[in-house]
Amino acid sequence: MDVGKLKRKLRQLKKIEDKIRFEYVGKEFSKKYVWDEYFSTKLVDDVTVKYPISKLLNFHKQELKEIFEEYFYSVYFRKYKDMGLDFDEIQDPSVLDYFGLSPGASVDDIKKKFRELAKKHHPDHGGSSEKMIEVLDTYNRLINKD
């Protein structure tokens, strides 16, 4: 995909997010887009976003599709959260990302990844206590959701 086409696609995604999340919000409301966390149309590497355009240009069509699906999962998650809705089966995408899991990961996927990280970061196996506590906290946020 060429740069111009990809920029148009990314701008279109932001317009869609605007309709999904902010259609009924007044103009005085401060809009914080998920898009701003995911994408940048600047040609220089932007380390403040997950997928700068320079990185997106290297992905194949299927990989881009998966990235856009991940983005929309985050958009709807944020919309439901903004509305005060909380569903047990919906996981926070940013917490899943910490574990390197995609949105929609199952409980079994979470447990499997936790075991891998626990083996890697456990102090008895040469890891640090701080990192292990961080892994445990993240796991508890995903599993217990209280």
The string of DSSP letters for 120-132 reads HH-GGGT--HHHH
The ranges of the chain annotated as CATH 1.10.287.110 are 93-143
What distance in Å separates the CA atoms of residue 105 and residue 102, rounded to the nearest whole number?
Answer: 6
Mean pLDDT (10-residue bins), the chain, 146 residues: 91 93 71 92 87 92 92 88 69 80 80 89 87 86 67
User: What CATH code is assigned to 93-143?
Assistant: 1.10.287.110
CA angle 121, 127, 129 (to 5 degrees): 85
CA–CA separation, 81 vs 109, rounded Å?
A: 23
d(CA 118, CA 102) in angstroms, rounded, equals 19
74 CB-contact burial (10 Å; exposed 0-12 / middle 13-18 / buried 19+) = buried
- Tell me if 79 sits within 8 A of 21, measured CB to CB: yes
Query: Is 93:104 a contact under the CB 8 Å cutoff?
Result: no
Q: What is the pLDDT of residue 146?
A: 45
